[in-house]
């Protein structure tokens, strides 16, 4: 199943969905997909004029493939301009992913600032694509196109503070309008920015993740390339703290992301 098949399944059966094996990373379902599906279930509870402004995500436990996952959405408050929701993805009676979301309608404001410029990186044509290699790269990579344009590949012993490049979905069924659910899947696809510092393979994963979306967003599709760049702000004792930006290919800011990551080396 490609990503839009899974999102369609959530929209038609928002209580339960089953993730296939080709969306896994090691022993767990891919975290970015978990976030994207839980967000999609949450978005169904909100009127379209209230845009998602921020999400706070905690990966509580690994979710298993081919085992039903239930999404439970709770409205914490419905204000005049902002809605606050809490979402849980539950499998075998245990919470595996939690998400708190803030959705707000636009309002008139005297403050209007241009976004920070896009990170400099190699041109798309010169950037190295990460191939899907069965048994080497995570299974979910087969659904995404990732090209390195900033920093080095994982486990190369390269002490760069930044990592990133170009990304888009493959979408075998053809282009779809790019949504926040799609962006969640794309942003978490990048390995922790700490991994290029290591000289040998070691596991690493997201522990917590906050992401803020910029509106109005340009009209992009799932086959349009986007830019991503993460910078390590601090790393010690097996934990790293990174800040990242997401831009369109032409440099329009789409999202601002922060992650606490764990690395077992």
The pLDDT value given to residue 112:
78
The yes-or-no verdict on residue 114 having pLDDT over 90 is no
**Mean pLDDT lowest for which of 22-31, 105-114, 181-190, 194-203?**
105-114
Which helix (DSSP H) or strand (DSSP E) does residue 243 occupy?
A: strand 239-248
What is the CB-side half-sphere exposure of residue 91 using CA atoms within 13 A? 22
User: Tokens representing 231?
Assistant: 């910078």
Which position has the token pair 């990732």?
Answer: 146
Classify residue 246: in a domain, yes or no: yes
Classify residue 111: in a domain, yes or no: no
Classify residue 114: in a domain, yes or no: no
CATH of the domain at 81: 2.40.160.210
pLDDT tens track for 64-110 = 999 999 999 999 999 999 999 999 999 999 999 999 999 999 888 88
Classify residue 112: in a domain, yes or no: no
Q: For the whole model, what pTM was predicted?
A: 0.93
205/146 Cα distance (integer angstroms): 18
> Mean pLDDT in the chain?
93
Domain count, the chain: 1
pLDDT tens track for 204-262 = 888 899 999 999 999 999 999 999 999 999 999 999 999 999 999 999 999 999 999 99
- The answer to whether 246 and 227 are in contact (CB under 8 A) is yes
66: left (phi over 0), alpha (psi -120 to 50) or beta: left
């Amino acid at each position: 199943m490609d990503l839009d098949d899974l999102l369609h399944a959530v929209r038609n059966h928002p209580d339960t969905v089953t993730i296939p094996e080709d969306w896994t990373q090691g022993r767990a379902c891919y975290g970015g997909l978990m976030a994207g599906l839980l967000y999609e279930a949450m978005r169904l509870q909100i009127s379209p004029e209230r845009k998602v402004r921020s999400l706070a995500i905690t990966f509580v436990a690994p979710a298993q493939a081919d085992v039903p996952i239930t999404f439970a959405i709770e409205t914490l408050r419905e204000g005049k301009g902002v809605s606050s929701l809490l979402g849980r993805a539950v499998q075998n009676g245990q919470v595996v992913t939690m998400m708190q979301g803030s959705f707000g309608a636009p309002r008139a404001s005297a403050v209007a600032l241009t976004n920070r410029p896009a990170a400099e990186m190699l041109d798309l044509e010169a950037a190295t694509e990460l191939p899907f290699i069965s048994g080497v790269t995570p299974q979910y990579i087969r659904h995404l196109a990732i090209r390195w344009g900033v920093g080095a590949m994982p486990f190369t012993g390269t002490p760069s503070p930044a990592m990133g490049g170009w990304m888009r979905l493959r979408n075998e069924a053809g282009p779809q309008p790019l949504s926040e659910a799609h962006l969640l899947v794309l942003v978490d696809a990048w390995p922790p920015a700490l991994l290029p510092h290591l000289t040998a393979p070691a596991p690493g994963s997201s522990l917590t993740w906050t992401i803020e979306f910029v509106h109005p967003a340009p009209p992009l599709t799932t086959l349009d390339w986007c830019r991503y760049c993460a910078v390590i702000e601090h790393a010690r004792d097996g934990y790293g703290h990174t800040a990242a930006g997401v831009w369109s290919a032409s440099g329009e800011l789409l999202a601002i992301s922060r992650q606490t990551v764990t690395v077992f080396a």
